[in-house]
Amino acid sequence: MSTTAAPNHLARAHDVLGAASVDDTALRRYLHGLPGVDEVGADARAAGLATRSIKTSAKAWALDLAVRIIDLTTLEGADTTGAVRALCAKARRPDPEDPACPPVAAVCVYNDLVPVAVEALAGSGVAVAAVATAFPSGRASLAVKLADTRDAVAAGADEIDMVIDRGAFLTGRYLQVFEEIAAVRAACAEGRPDGGAAHLKVILETGELVTYDNVRRASWLAMLAGADFIKTSTGKISPAATLPVTLVMLEAVRDWFEVTGAVVGVKPAGGIRTAKDAIRHLVLVNETAGPDWLDPARFRLGASSLLNDVLLQRRRMAIGAYAGPDHLTLPL
Amino acid sequence: MATFEYAPAPESRAVVDIQPSYGLFIGGEFVEPATGGVLKTVNPATEEVLAEVAVADEADVDRAVRAAREAQSRVWGRLPGAERAKYLYRIARILQERAREFAVLETLDNGKPIKESRDVDVPLAAAHFFYHAGWADKLRWAGLPTAGPDGEPRPLGVVGQVIPWNFPLLMLAWKIAPALATGNTVVLKPAETTPLTALLFAQVCQQAELPPGVVNILTGAGETGAAVVAHPDVDKVAFTGSTDVGRLIARTVAGSRKRVTLELGGKAANVVFDDAALDQAVEGIVNGIFFNQGHVCCAGSRLLVQESVADDVVARLQRRLRTLRVGDPMDKNTDVGAINSKAQLLKITELVNAGDAEGAQRWTAPCELPQTGYWFAPTVFTGVSPTHRIAREEIFGPVLSVLTFRTPEEAVAKANNTPYGLSAGIWTEKGSRILWMADRLRAGVVWANTFNRFDPASPFGGYQESGYGREGGRHGLAEYVAGAH
């Protein structure tokens, strides 16, 4: 068995699994030994937290945070240089009429447009995230997926959003999934212009995993293999990020921290369209993983149209009325 | 480090119009009590007096029973089921239309969080009326004894009902809806500390143009309830409340022709196995004992946790309890409200002190309690043994006693080792074990991987000292018709 996991991640995996070697048997034993998730109970907890009433000063604080944690995204076949430049301008300055509005956390694009984003965002503090590993399907050879990753890293991407091989996961080939994540993670550290490592988000594509038990197991598998963030979805299929799925993933990072002392972030992506949805996610974070996770270093929202709804609500709180849609800019 | 402070989110009181004083509701009208006694009802979160209500004495009880009898024999008992159904539907609709008013009033009078009155009590109460409205014209197909020549089940006549303070409106719905659906008329006494939603319900009866005397509401304390139960012209008694009072009632009606149903106390076991879905089990434990401040007859007040996961479960539970919000019941983000009365707070405190004295380890969720009002912070006792008072006696407050077990057989034995038998919870991912446990648990209601789930179609009631008879579903209807026992 070979693995390209960095020595410390592999050592940690050995420790956590309590196994002499990291193989399918050990992974299966561990992942299937995690507590199950009762679907009715998880849905009920998420629904209960969704009734929290977040108003006035709490809402203003949450809306500001919501802007700061958005990964503003465009992942269309028809994306162009011009479209990405426009998106980056909006990312730097979301609200043209309010210079106090913070910038978003990152811009997320296909990897051949990374150079455009890097140039457009230079000096802004907004990170450039690239999807990689044959996004969204993940159906390509490992060599192709790694080449995809290396291109993005060499072009200057700060963050890589990879997809796991769902076919491998659903057939129980956990070691394969582990090794691919580890290999991509190693590729994140190769050939960056500034010599650092891109941070790695691992997309589970929870809509294809279907059960919450699978979401929990895939979360732990990704963390064992060295993910910096676990992400719900590609946004290309439905269902994408639902509240119960985010809840299960927040429980996973919370428990991982208890077991290893290591911090992993969570990124729900896809299907989060309104400020209300965003605030509900923030409540989940607050009451599950805890307030330490209310930070762009540990929680992101992958979205595109969400930003304008958040800005609209933010503006309404500031001026007392809803602005017309033409007072906000189109993302592209 | 960020902190996400939830700003105050108060529900407005403006929707309710509380009168300074209320009379008794007899024969379709509010009337003065015979001897003029009054009681004050207080908001337990603030100790503010909300209103004065009348105290019904024996003369008032007699007047109400006569009004109920007349209404039953002349009007209600002669209406076809479909006509009774229309009144029940109308009442259900009005409850829904006035839902916010009822929720706010319930929270002010009882102390429970507005989130619960709004999302649980009022919707379930309306659901009970809708459900029983649907049965009123279909009783001959409910599998009930049909004593009449036309094949219809026959009502018992006049029913005396005494309800507790923990779910005032919901307990009223559980009593009145099946009684009316089956053709009986009612004299109901709400609890001493929570009369207001019953009195608002009386106004709804007027609004629905329910024939006078079909529903009569008599406010008062223990003596009023005793007079209702003892009245010779009451055909059936339905009581929900403490086991001690239930015993008194059973003695009072013994030897008479009165039918009786009693829904009393409990000391339910919430059983968590080592293969449970732990995060959801913790939610189930929290719901089981801290929902409604633990003022629930079927509360999961004993956690029976498999020893191999006991430390993990208790640690997760304590972490979870730090996010419970205790405080102003009118704030929409409050999870745990006020204790209903000073008397109840004293009882809880006495038993908790006994727990300390007997050597159990107490842990209390860190929270700031308001200065006025009656409050008790959510508390968990570990190191509890089956002989401790906190393992045997119903505390009826936000206090959990944690015991351990090693095998399923031991779990069953410990769960059943109580004079009560109202409810139980089983937490495991293994389906066969759920069925095995449910077969052996001596409890009227068994919840699997959930807790405190109620539905008008599901019969509710207990074994042994938790009472007898069922409420809800066809079993509940049977309690209100002739020939069933």
Contacts of B322 in chain A (CB under 8 A): none
DSSP letters for A124-157: S--EEEEEESSTTT--S-HHHHHHHHHHHHHTT-
Q: Average of pLDDT values for B20-39?
A: 96
- For residue A224, being part of any structural domain is answered with yes
The beta-carbon neighbor of A291 closest among B1, B279, B429 is: B1
Q: Is B280 in Cβ contact with A38 (below 8 Å)?
A: yes
| Nearest partner of A107 among A88, A94, A90, A122, judged by Cα | A88
Query: Of the listed B11, B116, B152, B263, which one is catalytic?
Result: B263
Alpha-helix residue ranges (DSSP H) falling in B117-208: 122-136, 168-181, 196-207
Contacts with B, A 91-130, CB within 8 Å? none
User: Do the beta carbons of residue A193 and residue A141 sit within 8 Å?
Assistant: no
Alpha-helix residue ranges (DSSP H) falling in B419-466: 431-440
Q: Average of pLDDT values for B1-28?
A: 95
Q: Catalytic residue at B297? A: yes
With a threshold of 0.85, tell me whether the complex ipTM lies above it: yes
Cα–Cα distance for residue pair B350/B373, rounded to 1 Å: 18
In CATH terms, the fold of domain B269-448 is: Aldehyde Dehydrogenase; Chain A, domain 2 (3.40.309)
Residue A230's H or E segment, with its range, is strand A229-231
User: Do the beta carbons of residue B291 and residue B445 sit within 8 Å?
Assistant: no
Binning pLDDT at 50, 70 and 90, where does residue B485 land? low
Q: What is the pLDDT of residue A1?
A: 37
Cα-based torsion angle of the residue sequence B82, B87, B90, B91 in order, rounded to the nearest 10 degrees: -130
Please report how the helices B196-207 and B81-97 are oriented relative to each other, as an axis angle in degrees rounded to 10.
120
pTM of this structure:
0.95
Phi, psi for residue B38 in degrees, rounded to 5: -130, 155
The residue behind tokens 């839902």 is B99
Q: Parallel, antiparallel, or unpaired: how do β-strands B236-240 and B259-263 relate?
A: parallel
Tens digits of per-residue pLDDT, B350-370?
A: 999 999 999 999 999 999 999
Cα–Cα distance for residue pair B108/B86, rounded to 1 Å: 31
Q: What is the CATH number of the domain that holds A137?
A: 3.20.20.70
The beta-carbon neighbor of B3 closest among A45, A251, A291 is: A291
- The strand pairing partners of B52, in sequence order, are B21, B40
Quote the number of domains for chain A: 1
E strand map for A16-100: 70-73
Tens digits of per-residue pLDDT, B242-286?
A: 999 999 999 999 999 999 999 999 999 999 999 999 999 999 999
**Percent helix, strand and coil across chain B, each to the nearest 5:** 40, 20, 40
Q: Is the peptide bond before A193 cis (omega within 30 degrees of 0)?
A: no
Tens digits of per-residue pLDDT, B368-390?
A: 999 999 999 999 999 999 999 99
| Chain A touched by B318 (CB under 8 Å) | no
The residue behind tokens 């002989």 is B387
Best mutation target among A43, A51, A53, A250 (most B Cβ atoms within 10 Å) is A53
> Amino acid identity, residue B2?
A
| Chain A touched by B277 (CB under 8 Å) | yes
| Chain A touched by B308 (CB under 8 Å) | no
- For residue A327, being part of any structural domain is answered with no
N-terminal to C-terminal alpha carbon distance within chain A: 47
| Chain B touched by A59 (CB under 8 Å) | yes
| Nearest partner of A1 among A29, A24, A31, A30, judged by Cα | A24
Domain that holds residue A227: 7-318
Residue A243 in tokens = 């509240």
Query: Of the listed A95, A161, A228, A277, which one is catalytic?
Result: A161
Binning pLDDT at 50, 70 and 90, where does residue B149 land? confident
Q: What is the pLDDT of residue B145?
A: 86
Tens digits of per-residue pLDDT, B425-460?
A: 999 999 999 999 999 999 999 999 999 999 999 999
Q: Is B2 in Cβ contact with A65 (below 8 Å)?
A: yes
Cα–Cα distance for residue pair B135/B457, rounded to 1 Å: 11
Cα–Cα distance for residue pair B75/B447, rounded to 1 Å: 41
Q: What is the pLDDT of residue A191?
A: 76
Domain positions in chain B: 21-263+464-478, 269-448
The beta-carbon neighbor of B280 closest among A37, A53, A62 is: A37
The beta-carbon neighbor of A41 closest among B2, B115, B449 is: B449
Chain center to CA of B262: 12
Query: Of the listed A59, A145, A201, A231, which one is catalytic?
Result: A231
User: Do the beta carbons of residue A34 and residue A217 sit within 8 Å?
Assistant: yes
User: Do the beta carbons of residue B111 and residue B338 sit within 8 Å?
Assistant: yes
Best mutation target among B3, B4, B272, B330 (most A Cβ atoms within 10 Å) is B4
Q: What is the pLDDT of residue A4?
A: 46
Q: Does residue B136 sit in helix, strand or coil?
A: helix
Greatest Cα-to-Cα distance within chain B, rounded to the nearest angstrom: 76
| Chain B touched by A261 (CB under 8 Å) | no
Cα–Cα distance for residue pair B263/B174, rounded to 1 Å: 11
Best mutation target among A32, A34, A38 (most B Cβ atoms within 10 Å) is A38
User: Do the beta carbons of residue B144 and residue B174 sit within 8 Å?
Assistant: no
Tens digits of per-residue pLDDT, B188-226?
A: 999 999 999 999 999 999 999 999 999 999 999 999 999
| Chain A touched by B2 (CB under 8 Å) | yes
Closest approach of B466 to chain A, Cα-based (Å): 28
- For residue A27, being part of any structural domain is answered with yes
Contacts of A57 in chain B (CB under 8 A): 5, 7
> Amino acid identity, residue B238?
A
Q: Is the peptide bond before A239 cis (omega within 30 degrees of 0)?
A: yes
Q: What is the pLDDT of residue B257?
A: 93
> Amino acid identity, residue B185?
T
* Per-residue pLDDT of chain A in tens (332 residues, 90 and over written 9): 334 445 688 899 999 999 889 999 999 999 999 999 999 999 999 999 999 999 999 999 999 999 999 999 999 999 999 999 999 999 999 998 899 999 999 999 999 999 999 999 999 999 999 999 999 999 999 999 999 999 999 999 999 999 999 999 999 999 999 999 999 999 999 877 777 899 999 999 999 999 999 999 999 999 999 999 999 999 999 999 999 999 999 999 999 999 999 999 999 999 999 999 999 999 999 999 999 999 999 999 999 999 999 999 999 998 888 888 788 887 65
- The strand pairing partners of B467, in sequence order, are B263
- For residue A328, being part of any structural domain is answered with no
Contacts of B323 in chain A (CB under 8 A): 287
* Chains A–B, number of C-beta pairs less than 8 Å apart: 77
CATH 3.40.605.10 is right for the domain spanning B21-263+464-478: yes
Cα–Cα distance for residue pair B145/B147, rounded to 1 Å: 6
